[in-house]
A = this chain, B = another copy of it.
Amino acid sequence: MVKSPARHLPYRGTTDRPELDRLIEGLRQADLTLDQPVLERTEIHKSHYMSLERDTIRTTSGNTADRDIVVHPGAVVIVPIDSEGHVLLVTQYRVPAGGALLELPAGTLDMHGDQIEDPLLAAHRELEEETGYRADKMERIGGFWSAPGFSTEYLHVYVATDLRTADHDRLAPDEDEELHLLRIPFAQAIEAAEQGVIEDAKSIAAILMLARRLERANR
């Protein structure tokens, strides 16, 4: 039996809340009762960092079915907050959206052979490449699949603080990655995420996750 195409598996540990632990226990049982093992796998297309494969699975009810899956190494998304409480955002043209989007700095994990880059290192690298800043503090606050129906892309979310400009030896953006840097009050970014100005799921999720965290800490 072929292994699942997942590069990252769902969280099955505990939390500090009994009612959340009960939800996780339910997911653990669903892993077994709803299991859909991969019976066969065909690689349909290989791109530079992602591939499209067709997995034949056994469905929960015992049939077989084909699933086309975008196998992706995973990525990081970073919420960089400076000493004045401003957040750094990037504006990028996105061909799949047919226009420019306002997003948090983010990027795909590098692959070296079968080895996937450490997400923490990738967060530092992407922050510097996309914003020109380095962070003395980089804290993971969560993670999520961007499109678990058809893609293995899992994003790790980091908050970057204690920022300083990367000087002469700064890592430059990838070739052909043109972006504009924007610095706005974090409160304004929260509004932009709520009011439809930010239309990128990872950025909305990460900004609102951090917003709640900060509000809880200030309570």
Interface positions of A (Cβ within 8 A of B): 4-6, 8-12, 15, 17, 19-20, 23-24, 26-27, 30-31, 34-36, 38, 44-45, 47, 50, 52, 55, 57, 59-61, 63, 65, 67-72, 91-103, 108, 142-155, 176, 178-180, 182, 184, 188, 190-202, 204-205, 208-209, 211-213
A67 pairs with B95, CB closer than 8 A: yes
**CB-based contact B101/A148 at 8 Å:** yes
- Name the one of B31, B99, B153, B202 contacting A93, with C-beta atoms under 8 angstroms: B31
Docked-complex contact A15 and B195, CB < 8 angstroms = yes
* Identical subunits present: 2
Please name all residues of chain B whose beta carbon is closer than 8 Å to the beta carbon of A191 when the two chains form the complex: 17, 19-20
Which residue on chain B has the smallest CB distance to residue A179?
B34
Q: How far is the CB of A216 from chain B (nearest CB, A)?
A: 9
Say whether A200 contacts B145, CB under 8 Å: yes
Q: Which of B9, B94, B178, B201 contacts A97 (CB 8 A)?
A: B9
